[in-house]
Amino acid sequence: MTVHTEWRGQVLLASLDRPERRNAIDHATLVALREVQAAAAADRARVLVLTGAPPAFCAGADLGGVEDRGFTSALGDVLRGFGELPAVCIAAVDGPALGAGMQLAAACDLRVATTASVFGIPAARLGLALDEWTIERVSREVGWPTTRAMLLAATTATGEELHRLGFVQRTGALDVALDWAAEIAELAPLTIAAHKLAMERSAPSLMADPEVDEARRRAWASADALEGRTAFLEKRRPRFTGT
């Protein structure tokens, strides 16, 4: 199993469990996460807490499969799935939350993180490009200046830094997230569902921009994207040529 679940009253705890890959997301993990979301909806979880087995929250996508279009489509379904749930979704981050890990954290409603946790989107180090939905979501949750630095300069930020910006609402480890989840589970669920729906619907409706889609497709199909993945797996610096 790539994701383990445990019910704690009306709180569903879901733990990414690929520690040997620092909980990098592969297609099987995405399928498992969709099953977790379905279980949370069917069993009327009040709160869903998403975390990762040590030593990471999620170090990104498993680069062995990211070139598959089915992977990116499934990832989009998972990210949007957190917003579609009436339950409050909390990301409990302890360690790296990079790439797809940052996307998962941003897709959740609330975030608890240890101060030393590291957040970032290293796509520019890999020759890849994110979809418009993710860029809009991260920008809205984190703020434009920090998002620009993450996307255009591949910078990272700590849990402490993002707590000051409001992206991380509480600092601490999993126990802090579970305590907060228990508090939230006592609140009125229909009120929370109504507020969450309103906030999700307040986001701008993104129309597919053909120029943006083409730019993203060109990046993914480039020699640089292949070089980025190869260099990452070979643990060396990539040599990008812009082709």
> What are the tens digits of pLDDT across the range 226-240?
999 899 889 999 999
pLDDT of 12? 98
Identify the structural domains of the chain with CATH numbers, from first to last: 3-189 (3.90.226.10)
Residue 202 burial (10 A CB sphere; 0-12, 13-18, 19+):
exposed
| pLDDT over 70, % of the chain | 97
Sorting pLDDT into bands at 50, 70 and 90, what band is 204?
confident
Side-chain half-sphere exposure of 206, counting CA atoms within 13 A: 14
Closest CA to 119 of 149, 143, 99, 145: 99
Sorting pLDDT into bands at 50, 70 and 90, what band is 70?
confident
Q: What is the pTM of this model?
A: 0.95
Q: pLDDT at residue 65 above 70?
A: no
Q: What is the pLDDT of residues 206-216, one digit of tens each?
A: 767 889 889 98
Q: What is the pLDDT of residues 23-33, one digit of tens each?
A: 999 999 999 99
Backbone angles phi, psi at 21, to 5 degrees: -110, 15
pLDDT of 209? 83
Mean pLDDT of 130-140: 94
Closest CA to 48 of 30, 58, 33: 33
Q: pLDDT at residue 66 above 80?
A: no
The DSSP result for 115-137, as a single string, is: TT-EEE-GGGGTT----HHHHHH
Token representation of residue 237: 């610096």
